[in-house]
Structure 1
Protein backbone atom coordinates (compact mmCIF):
# COMPACT_ATOMS: atom_id res chain seq x y z
CA UNK A 1 0.00 0.00 0.00
CA UNK A 2 1.12 3.29 -0.99
CA UNK A 3 0.83 6.24 1.28
CA UNK A 4 -0.35 9.51 -0.17
CA UNK A 5 2.04 12.32 0.32
CA UNK A 6 0.58 15.46 1.73
CA UNK A 7 0.61 18.36 -0.61
CA UNK A 8 2.63 21.36 0.37
CA UNK A 9 0.74 24.12 2.07
CA UNK A 10 2.10 26.69 -0.38
CA UNK A 11 0.08 25.23 -3.22
CA UNK A 12 -3.27 25.52 -1.44
CA UNK A 13 -2.66 28.63 0.57
CA UNK A 14 -5.72 30.82 0.88
CA UNK A 15 -4.00 33.64 2.76
CA UNK A 16 -4.89 37.16 1.76
CA UNK A 17 -2.09 39.60 1.18
CA UNK A 18 -2.59 42.39 3.74
CA UNK A 19 0.18 44.66 2.48
CA UNK A 20 -1.98 46.89 0.23
CA UNK A 21 -4.57 47.35 2.96
CA UNK A 22 -1.88 48.29 5.51
CA UNK A 23 -0.42 50.79 3.04
CA UNK A 24 -3.81 52.46 2.67
CA UNK A 25 -4.33 52.56 6.43
CA UNK A 26 -0.95 54.20 7.00
CA UNK A 27 -1.53 56.73 4.23
CA UNK A 28 -4.90 57.65 5.76
CA UNK A 29 -3.30 57.96 9.19
CA UNK A 30 -0.64 60.32 7.85
CA UNK A 31 -3.31 62.35 6.04
CA UNK A 32 -5.37 62.83 9.20
CA UNK A 33 -2.32 63.73 11.28
CA UNK A 34 -1.21 66.35 8.76
CA UNK A 35 -4.65 67.90 8.32
CA UNK A 36 -5.22 68.28 12.06
CA UNK A 37 -1.92 70.06 12.66
CA UNK A 38 -2.86 73.29 10.87
CA UNK A 39 -3.37 76.57 12.71
CA UNK A 40 -6.01 76.30 15.39
CA UNK A 41 -8.38 79.21 15.49
CA UNK A 42 -9.89 80.29 18.74
CA UNK A 43 -13.43 79.70 17.52
CA UNK A 44 -14.74 83.26 17.82
CA UNK A 45 -14.61 86.35 15.62
CA UNK A 46 -13.23 89.58 16.98
CA UNK A 47 -12.88 93.03 15.43
CA UNK A 48 -9.14 93.49 15.60
CA UNK A 49 -7.62 96.94 15.77
CA UNK A 50 -5.59 98.25 12.85
CA UNK A 51 -1.88 98.99 12.85
CA UNK A 52 0.54 100.36 10.26
CA UNK A 53 3.29 97.96 11.38
CA UNK A 54 1.20 94.79 11.16
CA UNK A 55 3.10 91.76 9.82
CA UNK A 56 1.85 88.28 8.98
CA UNK A 57 3.18 85.25 10.88
CA UNK A 58 2.98 81.99 8.95
CA UNK A 59 4.08 79.66 11.74
CA UNK A 60 1.53 77.74 13.81
CA UNK A 61 0.31 79.92 16.65
CA UNK A 62 -1.49 79.59 19.95
CA UNK A 63 -4.36 82.05 19.69
CA UNK A 64 -5.94 83.62 22.76
CA UNK A 65 -9.06 85.60 21.82
CA UNK A 66 -10.70 88.27 23.94
CA UNK A 67 -14.18 89.54 23.13
CA UNK A 68 -15.33 93.08 23.78
CA UNK A 69 -17.35 91.89 26.81
CA UNK A 70 -14.21 90.36 28.40
CA UNK A 71 -14.76 86.69 27.48
CA UNK A 72 -11.49 84.83 26.93
CA UNK A 73 -11.36 81.96 24.44
CA UNK A 74 -8.52 79.48 23.94
CA UNK A 75 -8.71 76.47 21.61
CA UNK A 76 -12.47 76.95 20.96
CA UNK A 77 -13.27 76.98 24.69
CA UNK A 78 -14.18 79.85 26.94
CA UNK A 79 -11.80 80.06 29.89
CA UNK A 80 -11.46 82.18 33.01
CA UNK A 81 -8.55 84.60 33.25
CA UNK A 82 -7.05 82.41 36.01
CA UNK A 83 -6.99 79.41 33.63
CA UNK A 84 -5.12 81.23 30.84
CA UNK A 85 -1.71 80.37 32.30
CA UNK A 86 -2.35 76.62 32.49
CA UNK A 87 -3.97 76.43 29.04
CA UNK A 88 -1.22 78.40 27.33
CA UNK A 89 1.48 76.36 29.08
CA UNK A 90 -0.18 73.11 27.93
CA UNK A 91 -0.56 74.28 24.33
CA UNK A 92 3.00 75.62 24.28
CA UNK A 93 4.28 72.23 25.48
CA UNK A 94 2.42 70.61 22.56
CA UNK A 95 3.69 73.23 20.07
CA UNK A 96 7.05 74.50 21.34
CA UNK A 97 7.83 76.42 18.14
CA UNK A 98 4.46 78.15 18.00
CA UNK A 99 4.13 81.70 19.23
CA UNK A 100 1.29 83.11 21.30
CA UNK A 101 -1.02 85.61 19.58
CA UNK A 102 -3.62 87.61 21.49
CA UNK A 103 -6.58 88.43 19.24
CA UNK A 104 -8.38 91.08 21.24
CA UNK A 105 -11.45 92.95 20.06
CA UNK A 106 -10.80 96.65 19.50
CA UNK A 107 -13.33 97.44 22.27
CA UNK A 108 -11.69 95.14 24.85
CA UNK A 109 -10.90 96.78 28.17
CA UNK A 110 -7.19 97.29 28.83
CA UNK A 111 -7.55 95.63 32.24
CA UNK A 112 -8.58 92.28 30.70
CA UNK A 113 -5.85 92.50 28.05
CA UNK A 114 -3.24 93.24 30.71
CA UNK A 115 -4.40 90.31 32.88
CA UNK A 116 -4.21 87.93 29.90
CA UNK A 117 -0.73 89.16 28.96
CA UNK A 118 0.38 88.76 32.58
CA UNK A 119 -0.89 85.15 32.67
CA UNK A 120 0.92 84.38 29.40
CA UNK A 121 4.17 85.75 30.80
CA UNK A 122 3.69 83.73 33.98
CA UNK A 123 3.43 80.65 31.72
CA UNK A 124 6.99 81.40 30.61
CA UNK A 125 6.28 83.00 27.24
CA UNK A 126 7.81 86.42 26.84
CA UNK A 127 7.17 87.11 23.15
CA UNK A 128 3.38 87.22 22.89
CA UNK A 129 1.99 89.27 20.00
CA UNK A 130 -1.25 91.18 19.62
CA UNK A 131 -3.17 90.47 16.40
CA UNK A 132 -4.12 93.49 14.30
CA UNK A 133 -5.52 94.23 10.87
CA UNK A 134 -3.37 95.89 8.23
CA UNK A 135 -4.29 99.53 7.89
CA UNK A 136 -5.54 100.26 4.37
CA UNK A 137 -4.69 103.63 2.93
Structure 2
Protein backbone atom coordinates (compact mmCIF):
# COMPACT_ATOMS: atom_id res chain seq x y z
CA UNK A 1 0.00 0.00 0.00
CA UNK A 2 1.11 3.32 -0.88
CA UNK A 3 0.90 6.16 1.46
CA UNK A 4 -0.58 9.36 0.24
CA UNK A 5 1.57 12.38 0.69
CA UNK A 6 0.06 15.64 1.79
CA UNK A 7 0.40 18.35 -0.74
CA UNK A 8 0.19 22.10 -0.46
CA UNK A 9 -3.21 22.11 -2.20
CA UNK A 10 -4.79 20.17 0.69
CA UNK A 11 -3.61 22.73 3.26
CA UNK A 12 -5.11 25.67 1.36
CA UNK A 13 -8.64 24.26 1.27
CA UNK A 14 -11.11 26.79 2.80
CA UNK A 15 -14.83 27.27 2.93
CA UNK A 16 -16.18 30.11 0.80
CA UNK A 17 -18.10 32.48 3.14
CA UNK A 18 -19.55 34.76 0.44
CA UNK A 19 -22.88 32.93 -0.05
CA UNK A 20 -23.48 32.79 3.70
CA UNK A 21 -22.84 36.54 4.07
CA UNK A 22 -25.21 37.24 1.17
CA UNK A 23 -27.98 35.29 2.91
CA UNK A 24 -27.35 37.09 6.21
CA UNK A 25 -27.57 40.51 4.55
CA UNK A 26 -30.74 39.56 2.67
CA UNK A 27 -32.35 38.39 5.93
CA UNK A 28 -31.27 41.60 7.66
CA UNK A 29 -32.82 43.73 4.93
CA UNK A 30 -36.00 41.62 5.05
CA UNK A 31 -36.43 42.08 8.81
CA UNK A 32 -35.70 45.81 8.64
CA UNK A 33 -38.26 46.35 5.88
CA UNK A 34 -41.01 44.24 7.44
CA UNK A 35 -40.68 45.67 10.96
CA UNK A 36 -43.51 48.00 11.87
CA UNK A 37 -43.22 50.61 14.56
CA UNK A 38 -46.50 51.32 16.24
CA UNK A 39 -47.16 53.71 19.05
CA UNK A 40 -48.73 52.11 22.07
CA UNK A 41 -52.15 53.33 22.97
CA UNK A 42 -52.97 54.20 26.54
CA UNK A 43 -54.62 56.68 28.80
CA UNK A 44 -53.53 60.27 28.73
CA UNK A 45 -52.81 61.89 32.08
CA UNK A 46 -54.41 65.18 33.00
CA UNK A 47 -51.70 67.04 34.83
CA UNK A 48 -52.45 70.12 36.90
CA UNK A 49 -51.32 73.47 35.60
CA UNK A 50 -48.06 74.80 36.93
CA UNK A 51 -49.04 77.76 39.07
CA UNK A 52 -46.68 80.43 40.23
CA UNK A 53 -48.21 80.17 43.67
CA UNK A 54 -47.02 77.26 45.72
CA UNK A 55 -48.29 75.98 49.01
CA UNK A 56 -44.75 75.52 50.24
CA UNK A 57 -43.98 77.27 53.50
CA UNK A 58 -42.11 80.53 53.15
CA UNK A 59 -39.80 80.16 56.13
CA UNK A 60 -39.03 77.71 58.88
CA UNK A 61 -39.15 78.30 62.61
CA UNK A 62 -35.63 78.94 63.88
CA UNK A 63 -34.63 78.09 67.44
CA UNK A 64 -31.13 78.55 68.85
CA UNK A 65 -29.75 76.90 71.96
CA UNK A 66 -26.39 78.07 73.31
CA UNK A 67 -23.90 76.08 75.39
CA UNK A 68 -25.50 77.19 78.67
CA UNK A 69 -28.93 75.94 77.59
CA UNK A 70 -30.54 79.31 76.87
CA UNK A 71 -33.22 79.03 74.18
CA UNK A 72 -33.61 81.89 71.70
CA UNK A 73 -36.68 82.25 69.47
CA UNK A 74 -37.13 85.35 67.34
CA UNK A 75 -34.24 87.13 69.03
CA UNK A 76 -35.69 86.66 72.53
CA UNK A 77 -34.62 84.35 75.32
CA UNK A 78 -37.45 81.90 75.98
CA UNK A 79 -38.04 79.42 78.79
CA UNK A 80 -38.45 75.79 77.70
CA UNK A 81 -42.03 75.80 79.01
CA UNK A 82 -42.92 78.71 76.68
CA UNK A 83 -41.63 77.04 73.51
CA UNK A 84 -45.09 75.63 72.68
CA UNK A 85 -46.81 79.01 73.02
CA UNK A 86 -44.15 80.83 71.01
CA UNK A 87 -44.26 78.15 68.32
CA UNK A 88 -48.03 78.40 68.06
CA UNK A 89 -47.73 82.19 67.77
CA UNK A 90 -45.20 81.73 64.98
CA UNK A 91 -47.52 79.26 63.23
CA UNK A 92 -50.41 81.73 63.44
CA UNK A 93 -48.34 84.35 61.64
CA UNK A 94 -46.50 82.07 59.18
CA UNK A 95 -47.63 79.02 57.22
CA UNK A 96 -44.84 76.55 57.84
CA UNK A 97 -44.39 72.91 58.66
CA UNK A 98 -40.67 72.85 59.45
CA UNK A 99 -38.51 73.93 62.35
CA UNK A 100 -34.73 74.13 62.65
CA UNK A 101 -33.07 73.84 66.03
CA UNK A 102 -29.49 75.11 66.06
CA UNK A 103 -27.71 73.83 69.13
CA UNK A 104 -24.18 74.41 70.35
CA UNK A 105 -22.08 71.24 70.49
CA UNK A 106 -21.67 71.57 74.28
CA UNK A 107 -25.43 71.86 74.89
CA UNK A 108 -26.97 69.08 76.95
CA UNK A 109 -28.91 66.64 74.78
CA UNK A 110 -31.83 66.59 77.18
CA UNK A 111 -32.57 70.25 76.52
CA UNK A 112 -32.47 69.73 72.76
CA UNK A 113 -34.81 66.75 72.99
CA UNK A 114 -37.17 68.65 75.26
CA UNK A 115 -37.31 71.57 72.79
CA UNK A 116 -37.97 69.11 69.95
CA UNK A 117 -40.86 67.60 71.92
CA UNK A 118 -42.31 71.03 72.65
CA UNK A 119 -42.15 72.01 68.96
CA UNK A 120 -43.88 68.78 67.95
CA UNK A 121 -46.59 69.37 70.55
CA UNK A 122 -47.20 72.78 68.98
CA UNK A 123 -47.94 71.14 65.61
CA UNK A 124 -44.68 71.06 63.64
CA UNK A 125 -43.66 67.54 62.68
CA UNK A 126 -40.61 68.27 60.48
CA UNK A 127 -37.89 69.19 62.96
CA UNK A 128 -34.22 69.29 62.03
CA UNK A 129 -31.32 69.70 64.44
CA UNK A 130 -28.18 71.58 63.49
CA UNK A 131 -25.06 71.44 65.61
CA UNK A 132 -22.95 74.57 65.85
CA UNK A 133 -19.34 73.83 66.72
CA UNK A 134 -17.69 75.96 69.36
CA UNK A 135 -14.83 78.29 68.50
**What TM-score, normalized to structure 2?**
0.52
Alpha-carbon RMSD across the aligned residues, in angstroms, is 1.9
Rg bigger for which structure?
A: 2
Q: What are the ranges of 5 or more consecutive residues in structure 1 without an aligned counterpart?
A: 1-58
Alignment of 1:22-101 (within 5 A): 59-97=58-96, 99-101=98-100
**Higher normalized contact order (CA 8 Å, seq sep 6+, divided by chain length):** 1
Deviations 1:9-56 (A, max 9, x none): xxxxxxxxxxxxxxxxxxxxxxxxxxxxxxxxxxxxxxxxxxxxxxxx
Aligned length: 76
Match of 1:119 in 2: 118
Provide the C-alpha distance between the structure 2 equivalents of 1:63 and 1:99, rounded to a whole number of angstroms: 9
Match of 1:7 in 2: none
Provide the C-alpha distance between the structure 2 equivalents of 1:71 and 1:127, rounded to a whole number of angstroms: 22
> 3-state DSSP class of the match of 1:117?
helix
**What TM-score, normalized to structure 1?**
0.51
Give the drift of 1:132: 4.5
